[in-house]
Amino acid sequence: MSIFVKFTIDGQICLAEEGKQLIEAAKENNIYIPTLCNFSGIPPKGSCRICTVLINGKPATACTTKVSENMDIKTSTEELENFRKAVIELLFIEGNHFCPSCEKSGNCELQALAYRYKIMAPQFPYLFPKRSIEAWHPKLIKDHNRCILCKRCIRGIKNEQGKSIFAYGKRGENLEINIDKETSKNISDELAQKCMDICPVGAILVKEKGFTVPIGKRKYDYNPIGSDIEKK
């Protein structure tokens, strides 16, 4: 039998199963903790740091923390919100994110977070790094300009043999996520679509598909990211 624990988020008393991922526990209590690298159902990574909250006064990522009795969590302090904004802005300047020409625009979680925080322009200078686009795969495109290295695709996508079809290549500032030639050889259309859907940005695209949903009907055109959790 599972044990339920009591904890507070921003003063609100919450209940959840002991040991649950804090980000999921908050969701069950209708509280949205913003995140990019976390994806329900796959192991957390804690790489984007956007879900950083204060747990008993100390900062920690809500995706890698398990909830326990009497935890005192703060998520919407001004300092944390400014910190999150800065992380989002850093992601925008670090890559080449040309929203107007991106297939994922309107359905992109990075963009949606920037909308949620009403970021008008990043406070850091743009780096315009030189990045390539991988288009050799028959079904997929990997655009390194847009990749934020959250590792969702590596963690969440496996082929029929249970092997990852994405892997890290290169090192340091040149780090990129590549499509594995062997394990991705015979992927189905459904799996290709799943690859595109698991990517929070437009770094993984299904070939010959894009701009299928008109402006005004896309996921984040009218509904801020997280509003589905908060509305319940």
Partner 1 sequence: MPNKKKIIATTSLAGCFGCHMSFLDIDERILDLIELVEFNKSPINDIKKFTKHCDIGIIEGGCCNDENVHVLKEFRKNCDILISLGECAIMGGLPALRNGIPLSECLEEAYLNGPTVKDANPRKIIPNDPDIPKILNKVYPCHEIVKIDYFLPGCPPRADLIWNALYALVVGNEMLIPYEVLKYD
Least gap, CB of 64 to partner 1 (angstroms): 30
Q: Which stretch binds partner 1 (CB under 8 A): 30-38, 77-85, 150-158, 217-225?
A: 217-225
Query: CB–CB of 183/165 below 8 Å?
Result: yes
> Does residue 161 touch partner 1 according to CB under 8 A?
no
111 binds partner 1 (CB under 8 A): yes
| 106 is an interface residue for partner 1 by CB under 8 A | yes
d(CA 2, CA 78): 35
Contact with partner 1 (CB under 8 A): which of 38, 47, 65, 105?
105
Q: Candidates 48-56, 76-84, 94-102, 181-189 — which segment interacts with partner 1 by CB under 8 A?
A: 94-102
Residues touching partner 1, count (CB under 8 A): 25
Decide whether 1 or 121 has the Cβ nearer to partner 1. Answer: 121
Euclidean distance between CA atoms 127 and 155, whole angstroms: 28
Pull the structure tokens for residue 87: 């992380």
> Looking only at residues 177 through 216 of this chain, which bind partner 1 when binding is defined by CB under 8 A?
215
Q: Which residue lies nearer to partner 1 by CB, 116 or 139?
A: 116
Of 36-44, 45-53, 91-99, 198-206, the segment contacting partner 1 by CB under 8 A is 91-99
H-helix or E-strand spanning residue 4: strand 4-9
> Cβ(165)–Cβ(179) under 8 Å?
yes
Q: How far is the CB of 83 from partner 1 (least distance, A)?
A: 21
Q: How far is CA 108 from CA 46, 70, 103, in A?
A: 19, 35, 9
CB 27 within 8 A of CB 70: no
**In the structure encoding, which two tokens stand for residue 162, read together?**
């249970």
Query: Which whole-number Å values give the CA distances from 46 to 39, 144, 150, 152, 218, in the listed order?
Result: 11, 21, 9, 11, 28
Tokens 């990997």 found at: 142
Candidates 4-12, 46-54, 61-69, 93-101 — which segment interacts with partner 1 by CB under 8 A?
Answer: 93-101
Contact between 47 and partner 1 by CB under 8 A: the answer reads no
Are the CB atoms for 75 and 9 separated by under 8 Å?
yes
x/- map, 117-146, partner 1, by CB under 8 A: -x-xxx--xx-xxxx---------------
Given the rule CB under 8 A, which residues bind partner 1? 96, 98-102, 105-106, 111, 114-115, 118, 120-122, 125-126, 128-131, 215, 221-222, 224
